[in-house]
């Protein structure tokens, strides 16, 4: 059969083209789901044969034709509205009219929905692995810096001393939740719509469980109308990706600021320079990581706008829905990989960090805590320290600050501070390292508390890495099983 006539079998003359032909076609974008469509076709044909819907001979011809279509690649497909139609046309070209039996008991609606899920689950596993690599970089860098004191900020102003480990583990915890959200989304991606047909099921005795199993899906979507039209799995996946992109945009922003202050040196591999200013070393990669949130959030917004108010069941708008997810996942995976590399190769400058850790009277809270431990109400302690804070500057040594606190106490209490608390306790509270080590409450920055956080981070890394490996394994096994079934016919 010629290319032309194979195409005609599917589209017939009335729908063979016209000015809107390119507008209608998703064939180019469908390259992303070319392999997925071949797998879906194979599983469907194996099932149709096992159910006695088509015979072994037809199956052998169609399955051999699919191998040949795969070998030739997406670029060699005949034209068509989409990859589903083009592959069917290519099969009919090779097999003759009986190639058209491949499309028995299904529709492009359940077919495309299956292809998107089949492909997206691989992409989401890549995204999850990206988050794992970033978590590993954060955790292992943190392990080297449990004693590296640095300024901690709120409102971008020095607030309280912390350590580099405590800071990095704050991001590890957030990225771990991003991993969890992606894993959760994976569970709902990995359900099979195949066999739902257009939306109202089929008169043929299909075995939907069988195709689901051959394609590595965990389960079958139980309502055929939902199965072929639902795209909420895209929304939650993009929601998880956009959340993760937002998480790493904050990390990137911090690192840009810290590099600017000389607290951290980025590796040259993750920096760029200026085409005119020879002295420049710019944190461009991290700025692009920060900017990737725009792609992900924009994709989520585009997707939700596409889906909003769609009537049941399939509508062609849906052809424009999943590309949002594929574009976003590519952007986010790249950004996450770069963030992981930048963190793993950066050098933290302990001396610069320590020198600034007490700036802006960042130990003030610790001093107020020290006063409050004597039985003084915390509010009174806060008032005394706040009164002193106005007159304290970064050049003051501990003795000078202690004297200023004492003067403030006179003003508030009408008596010297040293009748309430001893001077050594207050001076110790003014030391940033001391301030950190005294904050050993659960989750705090003291090295002892951070050790627990490191243990937790490593444990959840192991669990999540196992989860991903199990899912990859299940997909690889399904692939082998499907190939073995196909080989028994061809
Ligand atoms: N290319 C289409 C998509 O991506 C396939 C489904 C077409 N179905 C239809 N009834 N027009 O959504």
CB 429, CB 366: distance < 8 Å:
yes
Position 92 scores a pLDDT of 97
The reply to whether 89 and 180 lie within a common domain is no
Mutational test site, ligand 1, from 230, 316, 324, max ligand atoms within 8 Å of CB: 316
Neighbours of 334 (CB within 10 A): 15
Is the per-residue pLDDT at 3 higher than 70? no
Q: How far is the CA of 83 from the centre of ligand 1 (A)?
A: 10
Nearest-CA residue for ligand 1 atom 12 is 319
Domain boundary among 306, 336, 355: 355
Question: 419-432 burial string, b = 16+ CB within 10 Å, else e?
Answer: ebbeeeebbbbbbb
The reply to whether 182 and 80 lie within a common domain is no
The reply to whether 134 and 270 lie within a common domain is yes
Q: How confident is the model at residue 232 (pLDDT cuts 50, 70, 90)?
A: very high
Nearest-CA residue for ligand 1 atom 3 is 319
Q: How far is the CA of 108 from the centre of ligand 1 (A)?
A: 6
Position 9 scores a pLDDT of 66
Phi-psi category of residue 230: left, alpha or beta, with phi > 0 → left and psi -120 to 50 → alpha: beta
The reply to whether 129 and 95 lie within a common domain is no
Domain boundary among 355, 376, 392: 355
Q: How far is the CA of 378 from the centre of ligand 1 (A)?
A: 66
Is the per-residue pLDDT at 489 higher than 90? yes
The reply to whether 383 and 337 lie within a common domain is no
Is the per-residue pLDDT at 14 higher than 80? no
Q: Kindly report, residue by residue over 359-387, the tens digit of the pLDDT.
A: 999 999 999 999 999 999 999 999 999 99
User: Average pLDDT of 115-134?
Assistant: 98
Residues β-bridged to residue 148:
none
Q: How far is the CA of 436 from the centre of ligand 1 (A)?
A: 59
The reply to whether 255 and 402 lie within a common domain is no
User: Average pLDDT of 297-310?
Assistant: 98
Asked whether the CA dihedral 66, 72, 78, 82 is positive or negative, the reply is: positive
Q: How far is the CA of 471 from the centre of ligand 1 (A)?
A: 29
The reply to whether 198 and 271 lie within a common domain is yes
Q: How far is the CA of 32 from the centre of ligand 1 (A)?
A: 15
The reply to whether 14 and 98 lie within a common domain is yes
CATH of the domain at 94: 1.10.275.10
For the chain, how many structural domains are there in total?
3
Q: Which atom of ligand 1 is nearest to the CA of 108?
A: 6
Q: Kindly report, residue by residue over 173-226, the tens digit of the pLDDT.
A: 999 999 999 999 999 999 999 999 999 999 999 999 999 999 999 999 999 999
Give the chain's mean pLDDT: 95
Domain boundary among 430, 456, 480: 430
Tell me, yes or no, whether 464 lies in a domain. Answer: no
The reply to whether 318 and 245 lie within a common domain is yes
The reply to whether 192 and 338 lie within a common domain is yes
Tell me, yes or no, whether 437 lies in a domain. Answer: no
Nearest-CA residue for ligand 1 atom 10 is 109
The reply to whether 118 and 233 lie within a common domain is yes
* Structural domain of 411: 364-430
For residue 487, what are the contacts with CB-CB under 8 A and spacing of at least 6? none
Tell me, yes or no, whether 155 lies in a domain. Answer: no
Tell me, yes or no, whether 463 lies in a domain. Answer: no
Q: Which of 399, 276, 267 is nearest to 339 (CA)?
A: 267
Tell me, yes or no, whether 17 lies in a domain. Answer: yes
Position 4 scores a pLDDT of 56
Position 280 scores a pLDDT of 82
Mutational test site, ligand 1, from 112, 117, 303, max ligand atoms within 8 Å of CB: 112
Residues annotated as catalytic are: 155, 274
Nearest-CA residue for ligand 1 atom 7 is 108
Q: How far is the CA of 316 from the centre of ligand 1 (A)?
A: 6
Nearest-CA residue for ligand 1 atom 11 is 316
Tell me, yes or no, whether 472 lies in a domain. Answer: no
Q: Which atom of ligand 1 is nearest to the CA of 314?
A: 10
Position 44 scores a pLDDT of 98
Q: How confident is the model at residue 407 (pLDDT cuts 50, 70, 90)?
A: very high
Q: How confident is the model at residue 2 (pLDDT cuts 50, 70, 90)?
A: low
CATH of the domain at 123: 1.20.200.10
Ligand 1 pocket list (CB less than 6 A) = 26, 82, 108-109, 112, 314, 316, 318-319
User: Average pLDDT of 14-27?
Assistant: 82
CB 151, CB 161: distance < 8 Å:
yes
Q: How far is the CA of 319 from the centre of ligand 1 (A)?
A: 6
Position 19 scores a pLDDT of 83
Q: Which of 420, 396, 394 is nearest to 406 (CA)?
A: 420
The reply to whether 77 and 170 lie within a common domain is no
Tell me, yes or no, whether 379 lies in a domain. Answer: yes
Tell me, yes or no, whether 483 lies in a domain. Answer: no
pTM for this prediction: 0.95
């Amino acid at each position: 059969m010629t290319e032309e006539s194979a195409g005609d079998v599917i589209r017939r003359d009335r729908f063979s083209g016209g000015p809107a032909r390119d507008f209608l076609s998703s064939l180019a974008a469908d390259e992303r789901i070319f392999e997925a469509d071949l797998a879906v076709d194979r599983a469907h044909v194996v099932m149709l044969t096992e159910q006695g819907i088509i015979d072994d001979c037809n199956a052998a011809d169609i399955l051999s034709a699919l191998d040949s279509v795969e070998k030739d690649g997406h670029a060699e497909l005949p034209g068509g509205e989409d990859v589903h139609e083009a592959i069917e046309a290519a099969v009919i070209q090779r097999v003759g009219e009986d190639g058209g039996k491949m499309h028995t008991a299904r529709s492009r609606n359940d077919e495309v929905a299956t292809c998107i899920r089949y492909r997206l689950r691989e992409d989401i596993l890549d995204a999850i692995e990206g988050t794992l690599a970033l978590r590993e970089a954060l955790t292992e860098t943190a392990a080297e810096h449990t004693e590296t004191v640095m300024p901690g900020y709120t409102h971008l102003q020095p607030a309280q001393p912390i350590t580099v480990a405590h800071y990095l583990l704050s991001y590890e915890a957030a990225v771990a939740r991003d991993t969890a959200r992606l894993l959760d989304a994976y569970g709902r991606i990995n359900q099979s719509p195949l066999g739902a047909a257009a939306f109202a099921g089929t008169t043929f005795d299909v075995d939907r469980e069988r195709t689901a199993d051959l394609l590595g899906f965990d389960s079958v979507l139980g309502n055929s109308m939902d199965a072929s039209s639902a795209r909420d799995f895209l929304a939650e996946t993009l929601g998880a990706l956009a959340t993760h992109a937002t998480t790493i945009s904050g990390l990137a922003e911090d690192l840009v600021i810290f590099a600017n202050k000389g607290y951290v040196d980025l590796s040259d591999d993750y920096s760029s320079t200026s085409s005119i200013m020879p002295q420049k070393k710019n944190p461009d990669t991290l700025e692009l990581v920060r900017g990737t949130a725009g792609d992900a959030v924009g994709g989520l917004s585009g997707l939700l706008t596409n889906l909003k108010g769609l009537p049941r069941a399939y509508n062609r708008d849906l052809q424009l829905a999943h590309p949002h997810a594929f574009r976003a996942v590519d952007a986010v995976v790249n950004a996450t990989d770069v963030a992981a590399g930048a963190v793993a190769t950066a050098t933290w400058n302990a001396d610069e960090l320590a020198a600034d850790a007490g700036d802006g009277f960042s130990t003030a809270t610790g001093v107020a805590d020290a006063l409050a431990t004597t039985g003084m109400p915390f509010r009174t302690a806060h008032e005394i320290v706040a009164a002193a804070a106005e007159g304290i500057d970064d050049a003051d040594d501990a003795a000078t600050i202690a004297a200023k606190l004492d003067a403030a106490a006179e003003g508030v209490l009408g008596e010297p501070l040293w009748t309430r608390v001893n001077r050594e306790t207050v001076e110790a509270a003014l030391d940033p390292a001391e301030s950190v080590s005294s904050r050993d409450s659960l989750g705090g920055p003291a090295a002892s508390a951070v050790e627990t956080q490191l243990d937790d981070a490593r444990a959840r890394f192991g669990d999540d890495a196992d989860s991903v490996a199990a899912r990859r394994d299940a997909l690889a096994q399904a692939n082998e099983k499907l190939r073995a079934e196909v080989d028994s016919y061809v």
